[in-house]
Structure formats: structure tokens, C-alpha cells
Amino acid sequence: MILPSLWNARLYTFVDSAYLAGRAPSEVARQLCDGGSDLIQVRAKGAPADEVRRIAESVLEVTRRAGVPLVLNDHWDLAIELGVEYAHLGQEDFFDAGMTHTDALSNGRGPGPFPKIGLSTHAPAQAERAMAAGPDYIAIGPVFPTATKPGRPAATLEYVRWAARSVQMPWFAIGGINFDTLDAVLEAGARRICVVSAILNAADPAKACRELRRRIESAPLPPAPVTPV
């Protein structure tokens, strides 16, 4: 797959096992693709590796047909094995594991290719450290309290404002973003948005995606940096 530029991405969605409510992951993925998702993450916190593999394989069949990059949360080794386009790692999976640069993930693993990398951040100091580590994008949040990150305090809209001023790479606001809170996040400067429950709990996830995307696109993207020749 030729990956689209993250600079042009707007809507990042999830196949989260906590919100499937008995639905097939592949069907949810199809709805997310139909709704205009730019990236889809498979997240199955606490699930056995075999279950994560099963979900990821079924979703990958859908995303590949649709030309939408798949992100696998946490499971770097499985991301390599399945050949997914992106892997997303939290602070505890990366920095707390002793890594300081994304190159460490591929050391000793042969020539690749390897998944591109996203890193979670929850405060400006973490974002600065993450940017120096060489990921392809970072996540900024949780902006608001969210059930997907129980016990983690909200990073607040001020963190979004800081990112809009300070982050010179693709970044996505995440955490508690829904139809009621989206405008405030856009006003704070976010232009790429992650949404979980507001889509997965909707009666029609594809329709929810389309409406969120329409509203996100009302806030124009800044120009991408020009890469020197």
C-alpha cells in the first residue's frame, strides 16, 4: 500500500474490543472505512495475543481493500509479523521500556520494512521527548476524561493549544472527543482528531464518521512543511 501523507489526515478511528458489543471487528472496520476514516487502530487492551491477532487479521482484510492504513496498538512484534502499516505505543511501552529512539524497535530484526510509529503523549515534556524519538506522529491527550483511559487525568485543552503552537509534525488530539466537545478542540488548534466511543456507540458508525469528518474539515489544515530537495 502506498501510504497517504499524515499531514493530510483528519479522522483517526478505532476498532476497540471494549466497544464492539458483539459486532464482528471486520464489520465495524467496514463501517469506519465507509465513513471516511484516514487511519483505523485495532485496540484490544488486556486481550490475549491470539485474540489480538484474530481481530487484526480480520480488520486488515477490510482496510487493505479500502486503502486505509491500519494501526495496531501495543503489539509491535505482531505488527511486524502481520505487516500492518502503523504501530502505536504508549509511554510505558516505549520510554519506560528503556527506548529513546524508534530506531531501537527495528534493531537486530533484519532489513524490514517495518511499521511506521505513533507515540502517545500526555504533557508538553512528553511530547518534546517523543518528537525527538523520531515517530511518524504523536497523540495529544487525553484532552478530556475518558473511559478508554480510566484513572488518567485529562491533559486539557491547554495541552492542545500548546501542541498547536509547538508541534512541528503530524499530531492527533485524542480523549473524550465527541459531537459536543469537538468544536472546542478545533478552536484550540487541533486539525487531526481521534474518536472512539462517539463513533463506536453510534447507531450508524459510518454516518457518525461522515458527520465528524465534515465538521473537522471545516477547520482548514495548515500547509505541510516543505521538505528540502
Q: What are phi and psi of 65, to 5 degrees?
A: -65, -35
pLDDT tens digits along 64-120 = 999 999 999 999 999 999 999 999 999 999 999 999 999 999 987 877 789 999 999
189 in a domain, yes or no?
A: yes
99 in a domain, yes or no?
A: yes
For 47, the grid coordinates are 486481550
Model's pTM, two decimal places? Answer: 0.95
Helices (H), 107-217: 124-132, 156-166, 182-187, 197-200, 205-216
pLDDT tens digits along 128-162 = 999 999 999 999 999 998 877 777 789 999 999 99
Domain that holds residue 109: 6-216
26 in a domain, yes or no?
A: yes
139 in a domain, yes or no?
A: yes
1 in a domain, yes or no?
A: no
State yes or no: pLDDT of 43 exceeds 90. yes
Domain count, the chain: 1
229 in a domain, yes or no?
A: no
State yes or no: pLDDT of 223 exceeds 70. yes
17: CATH:
3.20.20.70
pLDDT the model gives residue 226: 73
For 212, the grid coordinates are 465528524
Alpha-carbon torsion (62, 64, 68, 71), positive or negative = positive
121 in a domain, yes or no?
A: yes
pLDDT tens digits along 170-189 = 999 999 999 999 999 999 99
For residues 49-71, average pLDDT: 97
170 in a domain, yes or no?
A: yes
